[in-house]
Structure 1
Amino acid sequence: MTRRLVVEADGGSRGNPGPAGWGAVVRDAATGALLAERAGYLGFASNNVAEYSGLVAGLEAARDIDPAAHVEARLDSKLVVEQMSGRWQVKHADMKRLAELARGVLPADQVTYTWVPRAQNGAADALANQAMDAREGLWRDHPDGDGPDATPPVEPQAPARARRPSGAAMRFDDAEPLTVVLIRHGETPMTASKAYSGGAVPGPSLTSTGRIQAAKAADTVFRIGRTLWPDLPHPSALRASPMVRTQETAGAVGRRLGLRVELDEAFRECDFGEWEGLSADQIEERWPGDLKRWHVDAEFRAPGGESIEDVGVRVSGALERLRDEAVGRTVVVVAHSVVIRAAIGATLGAPSSVWASVRVGPASITILRLWADGEREVTVVGMPTDL
């Protein structure tokens, strides 16, 4: 018999737009038992973006409980209910993106949408306000359905950190490093066509596949310090390259983690100059031999653009800056293929001529650890999250 779950979701913005947060709970439809609570802080956003963010998180929580369940999503936003039910068009770009994310969580025939009065959505509203007050997120599951009924949840205790596992970098003290989780952005039209898409042009946006990849990467990163790599601190900060594709990917991660996205120019993609938008074959036809030279000659720049070494210098400086700000934490950085290869290569002390040997797929995860005394560890390289 198919299980039935209820998602109650809400979001708010103090200023519209202004400081915004969302909340969501999942209940058993038959008993009303509380199964999961989620909350997140968005930073500066609108009411509608917050409401959609709560819906996405609530559906993801329901999917985690039972991916085959039928879900009734209850919201006090008439706009979101009507748009997700297909009766109203979604015109705003941010809401289009979030609506597509929501539709990608579960098959359409497993989800229905119901409008409820605000008074009947008190638990989700309380969570959204808690996130805005604390400016941080919350994650709590009640697998036995023993959670409090329609009351603000207790802030969960962080799970005990696991000891450093076998195979980790050798240390003879208890010094804690900075952990950097590098995520490549999801697929864009230029990723699919294998064209060079650099840091001098803001676009393009993610494709629908890229948005799904971003959501899956967010789910994976959310598990760090819990069920994945339990010896690592759970992420507490989120940075992103200022390109559209990285901001969109980071938005999915931020909603999942309840973290605000901070933009960092140092992590923008390599400037490909006149090669922007061209395929490797097109570059070879117009500049014979130059693309290969760019990969192996540290100082050779793309015409009107950067060399791989240029990227390595700014990325290395950014990693050192993050390390000097504070160790003992995990910072997520959403960036690009050349940037992530440079970060790996610089961490290993490898020459830039071999950096292109590392595969960094769309929405893949790489984890580096940097100690204050200069010791380093490459924990994960290019792990796919869309399997």
Structure 2
Amino acid sequence: MASAGTGPVTGAAREFVVEADGGSRGNPGPAGYGAVVLDAATGEPLVETAEYLGVVTNNVAEYRGLLAGLRAAYALDPSATVHVRMDSKLVVEQMSGRWKIKHPDMKPLAAQAAGVFPPGRVTYEWIPRASNKHADRLANEAMDAGARGEQWSPPAPPARETGAAGAAEADVRAARSAASSGAGAAEAVVPAGERAAGPVAPTRERAAPEAAAAHGGPASGSAPAVPASAAASSGAGTAEAAKSPRPRSAEPAQAPGERVSEVTQGSAGQAGKAAQAPGERVAEADQASGERVAEADQASGERVAEAARAPRAGGVTAAPGSGARAAGKTAAPGWGPPDMGAPATFVLLRHGETPLTPQKRFSGSGGSDPSLSAVGREQAEKVAEGLARRGTIQAVVASPLARTRETAAVVAARLGLEVEIEDGLRETDFGAWEGLTFAEVRERYPDDLNAWLASPDARPTGGGESFAATGARVAAARDKLVAAYAGRTVLLVSHVTPIKTFIRLALGAPPESLFRMELSAASLSAVAYYADGGASLRLFNETSHLR
């Protein structure tokens, strides 16, 4: 268990890490925040603070958590430098000066937070939700206390001591007073080492993306082992309580530089299953499910437990037994650095059903260009509603084909965005196979079909497009869009083959993997692209919004 702190350090300014979070059960609804001040060198929790706020929005609660954390850090050492880590992309981007603050409720809170320390002494970093469990737990404890009509309060501190321990207690008392100044009476601050371990309080409903099993076949998820020091989570165990109405699998705690794979794979279909639609059924997945709603003009970036990335030197590890991640970089081969900035996140939406979809017919860019069916239009409305609740999409880009433009138009209208058309997102041209079922192609063009199944360079009968050509086209579109939307979350409305190709390229999988993914109509998937050139699959074939 962490101690109450070590007291002021003379001769050099201290370095702190502040982790803060806030949430609202309803947005707006009953809300609260939590924040913890950590020693940057050891990761030791020094002070915790939390408050029930009454009925406010997620964003207000997040800003209040930031403000309280900064005040607590200032009370511990006014000359300190502070690194803030939050899973609210909105707050991080606005406080870093990259996004404008337009909402009237945010401006005064941001100004107060900016004034706690002198300019240049506070830096900001976005972290995945799974890496912010400590502050999240405190926020939920505060909301649970408010629901009981109580104040959030820590256990009674031990008897006062003299010497170093007494100095540490004085530090904490000052932090308590500072963090609570200007706040409601329900707020409390406590030295982290004095908290009794206990079960994690039920988490609030909030809109953050969560991994889901692929539909249409057995699913399997994989995650690399996380070092014990990084997997420790203060008083919360290794499994995180659900943060949205539907269940989710437990997530390992991560150091900021670590990424845990949450790739869910569909059934490894037989070659004959290729008809599931190299054009209509061969691609799509999701994970933009459940992220908290951000400000209308600046939706927050997608939050998800990050997927496994290629080994790199450097990283961040937690001090043994500290229950928190240390901010200092240590030798941790195999994990990426924590300071690459926000990735470009592509949320990949397969269009809704057309009349050809349930018949499992090839439907590419060289056929009749069918429109959505009544079922497809209903699916588009449902996905639009789900994405609006999550509040993370900042732009919408669609394939030029009718079914994708129609799906994108429904979503964009709900989100208040325009639709950009990108030709590179169109479906493969299936030549003479357009409109046929797999069995019909097998009967009419057996040799061409066998060659197509055996090689990505083979083209469908009648001058169609090979998967190799589709892959090159999609890769070029990907590079163009990553450059155009760096650090932003973009909805790409496309088709089976292009979406599967995005996923295949992100995973470095062979071309034959295109036949081993099941993607449902109107499903969501997500891939993040980082500044170092790495990519991670964050979501695959999510369809919970359709239920």
Name the TM tier (shorter chain). 0.5 to 0.7
Q: In the aligned structure 2, how far is the partner of 1:218 from the partner of 1:238?
A: 12
How many corresponding residue pairs? 228
* Aligned-residue offset at 1:161: 6.5
Partner of 2:320: none
Q: Residue 361 of structure 1 aligns with which residue?
A: 520
Q: What residue number does 2:470 align with?
A: 311
Q: 2:534: which partner in 1?
A: 375
Aligned equivalent of 1:89: none
Structure 1 contact 324–372 (Cα < 8 Å) conserved = no
Letter in 1 for 2:369: G
Match of 2:337 among 172, 184, 192: 172
Give me the whole-angstrom Cα distance separating, in 1, the residues matched to 2:368 and 2:446: 28
State the one-letter code of the partner of 2:440.
Q
In structure 2, the residue matched to 1:193 is 359
Equivalent position amino acid for 1:216 in 2: K
The answer to whether the Cα contact below 8 Å between 1:323 and 1:371 also exists between their aligned partners in 2 is: no
Select 2:438's aligned residue among 280, 304, 316.
Answer: 280
C-alpha distance in 2 between matches for 1:366 and 1:239: 15
- DSSP-derived class of the 2:397 partner: strand
Contact persistence 2:471–2:501 (CA under 8 A)? yes
- 3-state DSSP class of the match of 2:439? helix
- Bigger Rg, which one: 2
Q: By percentage of residues, which structure has more strand? A: 1
Query: Could you tell me how far apart the structure 2 residues matched to 1:164 and 1:380 are?
Result: 9
Q: Distance in 2 between matches of 1:245 and 1:204?
A: 6
Match 2:481 to one of 303, 322, 326: 322
Q: Does the CA contact (< 8 Å) of 2:304 and 2:538 recur in 1?
A: no
Give me the whole-angstrom Cα distance separating, in 2, the residues matched to 1:244 and 1:188.
10
CA distance in 1, matches of 2:399, 2:518: 20
| CA pair 237-191 structure 1, distance change in 2 beyond 3 A | same
Cα gap change, 1:161 to 1:261, in 2 (>3 Å): closer
* Pairs within 5 Å for 1:36-47: none
* SS of alignment partner, residue 527 of structure 2: strand
- CA positional deviation for 1:167: 5.8
- Measure, in 1, the Cα distance between the counterparts of 2:482 and 2:298: 22
Classify the secondary structure of the residue corresponding to 2:349.
strand
One-letter identity of the residue aligned with 2:517: V
| 202 and 179 in structure 1: CA distance in 2 versus 1, 3 angstrom threshold | farther
Aligned mates of 1:383, 1:260 — CA distance in 2? 24
Distance change (3 Å), C-alpha of 1:242 and 1:314: same
Q: Are residues 273 and 238 of structure 1, via their aligned partners in 2, closer, same or farther at CA, if it must alter by over 3 Å?
A: same
TM-score (norm 2): 0.39
1:354 Cα shift? Answer: 1.5
Change (3 A) 1:159 1:315: closer
The runs of at least 4 consecutive aligned structure 1 residues that moved more than 3 Å come to 155-171
Q: Deviations over 1:122-176 (max 9, x none)?
A: xxxxxxxxxxxxxxxxxx99xxxxxxxxxxxxx7586877977476655322322
The answer on whether the counterparts of 2:298 and 2:394 sit within 8 Å (CA) in structure 1 is no
Contact residue 202 and residue 244 of structure 1 kept, 8 A = no
Q: Deviations over 1:84-132 (max 9, x none)?
A: xxxxxxxxxxxxxxxxxxxxxxxxxxxxxxxxxxxxxxxxxxxxxxxxx
Shift of 1:330: 0.7
- Residues 1:163 and 1:283: Cα distance change in structure 2 (over 3 Å): closer
- Aligned partner of 1:262 in structure 2 is 420
Q: Find out whether 1:214 has 2:374 as its counterpart.
A: no
Structure 1 segments unaligned to the other structure (5+ residues):
1-35, 37-139, 142-154, 227-233
Residue identity matched to 2:528: R
